[in-house]
Amino acid sequence: MSTRNDVLDAARRCLVRGSGRKLTLAEVAREAGVSRPTVYRRWPEVSAVIRDLLTRDMTSLMTEHVAAVDAAIATAPESSPPEVLAALVDGIVGAAVGLSDDTLFSSLLRRQPDLMAPYVFQRLGASQRGVLDVLDSRITRAQQVGAVRAGDPMRLGAMVLLITQSAIQSRSVVAPVLGGDWSKELTRALCGYLSPVEPVSVPTTPDSTPADDDGAAR
């Protein structure tokens, strides 16, 4: 584990120092002070190192920021459901702000969009799965004290991830409208989505089956 973290830390330093530019496994090995075969045995290509680095750091960031919800749940019922929900959402938004401000993540989005794009548009990566696991466990516990609406925790977490990920990646597009308040609007969006109180009834998808003039389905 120590060698793995040494290599990942070295990769982070190289990427930050180079503002997200592409690097080689040889550079990472040299920065970590280990032999090239040591790195090659575990990571066949540098993109694998970066993926592991992002998975580690994103999961750690999310876990750190949602720790407050664990404390709120532990003191329930002294902590009311709205307080637990607020702690959960504040943790998610705090992690989103931390990630968007992270030099490594922002540099990679800017300098290596081809590396990041598949995990945004094509498939669920290990980094996102790690975040989903964190969300799943916290949403489950929050539901148990009535702080989050009913539903499959993993499905709720997936939607939270989608909303939050979109806010992080596209915030600059709507910056002229939102200004610096994007995190406040994200807080409102997540609170509304996770709240156990439904503000309005959700319409069902209309039946697409054609009907006769008398209204009977054909």
- Taking the chain (218 residues) in consecutive chunks of 10 residues, what is each chunk's mean pLDDT? 88 90 92 93 90 86 85 83 93 90 83 67 68 91 94 96 86 78 92 83 52 46
pLDDT given for residue 118 in this prediction: 60
Q: Which pTM was predicted?
A: 0.75
The domains found in the chain, sorted by start residue, are: 50-194 (1.10.357)
Cα gap 172→182, rounded to integer Å: 10
Q: Which amino acid is at 45?
A: E
User: What do you get for the CA distance between the two ends of the chain, in Å?
Assistant: 64
pLDDT given for residue 20 in this prediction: 83
DSSP symbols for 151-209: S-HHHHHHHHHHHHHHHHHHTTTTHHHHTT-HHHHHHHHHHHHH-SS-SSPPPPPPP-S
pLDDT given for residue 211 in this prediction: 46
Distance of CA 176 to the CA centre of its chain: 24
pLDDT given for residue 217 in this prediction: 45
pLDDT given for residue 199 in this prediction: 56
How many C-beta neighbours within 10 Å does residue 11 have?
Answer: 25
